[in-house]
Chains A and B, each alone.
Chain A
Amino acid sequence: MEYFIELFFSGLTRGSIYALIALGYTMVYGIIQLINFAHGEIYMIGAFTALIVTGVLTYYGWPHLAIILIAAVLAIFYSAAYGWTMERIAYKPLRDAPRLSALISAIGASLFLQNYVLLAQTSDFLPFPSLISDFAFLDPVSNLFGTTDFLIYTTTGVVMALLTFLIKFTRVGKAMRATAQDRHMAMLVGIDVNRIISITFIIGSATAAIGGVLIASHVGQINFFIGFIAGIKAFVAAVLGGIGSLPGAVLGSLVLGWTEAFFTGYVSSDYEDVCAFVILVIILIFRPSGLLGRSGVQKV
């Protein structure tokens, strides 16, 4: 039973990491039905920004807490700026083009950002400092989860709650929902659709940056390629949960994380991905629109 609980928390960590990235994925998809493949790269850029800021501030001997806060805030701003620019350059001109063109453009943006960081920084792994000192009150459960795991759980929960609140109860959220339902109709009733889409990208990128900082300090190392693998897994999780649904993204991520952890724990880690994708296929056969996705009528 103890082993089961240990594996449960291992899966919770993995799932929450996927969820932090999947939230941004699913939000962008919900608004403009675009699979933003470059989302993982925004996450990676967030981590790199935090690393650079930390390095500079540590050099000047700033206090620890200030470094964390400034690094996180700058990472969020910088990633959000990237998200906004990317939308302007790579997606907006293709707004009325076939959906496949926008998808190719997304893959292009992803490769561009990866190679840009590869050339501007390095291909080697860089150590990411553990910015957050261990919480003493977590010491009794350190065999289950550590400080960074704990922060990832709580942040995932808070981000999901905030985003749900934003979409359900604010004016911007209402405009987002309207844009998601019918972009032309939303325009007709006076919603600045371009602005709403930009805001969506900015918010999605900001969540990716939060994920980048937290996950990098959990893993302890970053390189230019981390966004790709994490992005693919998060995308799978978002589809599993029902793409476009915020609670769905979190649920899908947790299901994926637990599947991998329990399979590793009780069977073998050699086939954890195989098992995870078998589960994905089975769930999609019975619920084609994902666990919490709405099976809406396809617009013709």
Chain B
Amino acid sequence: MKRYASKRCLAAILVCVAVFAFSGVGLAQDTIKLGVAGAHSGDLASYGIPSIRAAELVTKDINAKGGILGKKIELLLGDDACKPELATNVATKLVSDGVNVVLGHICSGATKAALNIYASASIPVMSPSATNTELTLSGDYPNFFRTIAYDDLQARLQVSFARDVLKVKRVACLHDKGDYGKGQSTLAKQFFEEAGIEVVLFEGVTPGAVDYSAIVQKIKRENVDLVVWGAYHPEASKIVTLMRKKKMDTPFMGADGIKDETFIKVAGEFAEGVFATGPRDNTKNPLFIAAKKAHQDAFGEDPGVFFPEAYSATLALLNAIEKAGSTDFDAVTKALRSEYVDTPVGSISFDQNGDAIGIGFSVYQVKNGVFTTIQ
């Protein structure tokens, strides 16, 4: 029943868009077709719906100004419910409907399944949410772009910062044995070793323990240049406090798990000088504020997850078509890789792999009791 309803709804949207497009230009062929694919129903619909809304808002703006290259934008929706097997059907359908560029898909697995179909039809695809590292770094999908940082990026940023700025030789990687903490630390260890930096200590501490002085003594004995903490802030503040109380001035670096005001509140003066990586702060970007307001006006609620990324991806795709002067695959991908575009997630372009330049994580340092961006 729900499926039926959503299909009718989808059909209604398509009819509206189509009517609008016909009335503007007169010929169906004279629209630029933007596919919006992802989970639009099912458990993960809340990840996919914001991307439809973002695409609608952006295209409404652009069509109101006369479209791009004299053509209106037409949206084609495809619902994969986050399932790889449905994603291939959606991709085939969109390709046969003559889509020019695709915003999607939402889940990494579904995206991977659909990409080859788009590749054989020479269609650029841009995901606002698929974070799987392989999608870009494997080099298998030259038609794929994304406006979200990939999974390994944070650990790679930590390593490059430690190597180039702090110039460390020996590090200790500590975590809390949990999924997030151990995963983060394992990646950091792998990249440190690839960068030729010795990881002399790789250990998990018991979260919630009353005292960490034994592990702190061990860090001291190993005489490391940097302690890299992979997990959350409660243990981090205990460890860094003990280190400073034992008169160790070894730098301490954490990930987004410690980039939290509570960390500074709890560790107090001992938090001073601690490094942390965390997502770049976009909330002061005027385009971000405008997009959020547009969403509130149109839908009466705050935007959902991945909305800014989807909004930015739509802008980037349409901008590239405009700059390229056509929907030709080579011209569009070249424009994506060379032109910068101002979006809610910052001024972005794309690298050879398809990852956005200018998004993702920053390095922060605690200075005078606040996290200050230093890189």
Contact = CB atoms under 8 A, between A and B. Distances in A.
Of B214, B216, B267, B268, the most chain A CB neighbours within 10 A belong to B214
Given A143-B247, A221-B238, A270-B203, A11 B266 contact: no
A3 B222 CA distance: 11
Contact of A270 (B204, B216, B266): B204
Interface in A1-19: 3, 6-7, 9-11, 13-14, 17-18
A268 B172 CA distance: 13
B262 A10 contact: no
Contacts of B208: 225-226, 229
The interface size bin for chain B is 20 to 34
A10 B266 contact: no
Interface residues of A, number: 40
B27 interface: no
A220 B266 contact: yes
Contacts of B211: 10, 13-14, 17, 218-219
Interface in A208-224: 215, 218-221, 223
**In this complex, which of B177, B209, B237, B247 has the most chain A Cβ atoms within 10 angstroms of its Cβ?**
B209
A264 B218 contact: yes
A261 B214 contact: yes
Contacts of A125: 233-234, 237, 262, 266
B214 A269 contact: yes
A234 to B, nearest CB: 9
A124 B263 CA distance: 11
A220 B217 contact: no
Given A146-B245, A264-B218, A269-B203, A229 B266 contact: no
Contacts of B238: 219-221
A230 interface: yes
A7 B206 contact: no
A269 B239 CA distance: 14
Interface string B179-215: 0000000000000000000000001111011110111
A215 B147 CA distance: 47
Interface of B: 177, 203-206, 208-211, 213-218, 220-221, 233-234, 237-238, 241, 245-247, 262, 265-268
Given A125-B266, A146-B245, A272-B206, 13 more contacts: A6-B217, A9-B213, A125-B233, A125-B234, A126-B266, A127-B266, A142-B245, A142-B247, A143-B246, A219-B238, A220-B241, A221-B237, A226-B208
6 contacts: A10-B213, A13-B211, A14-B210, A125-B262, A229-B209, A270-B177
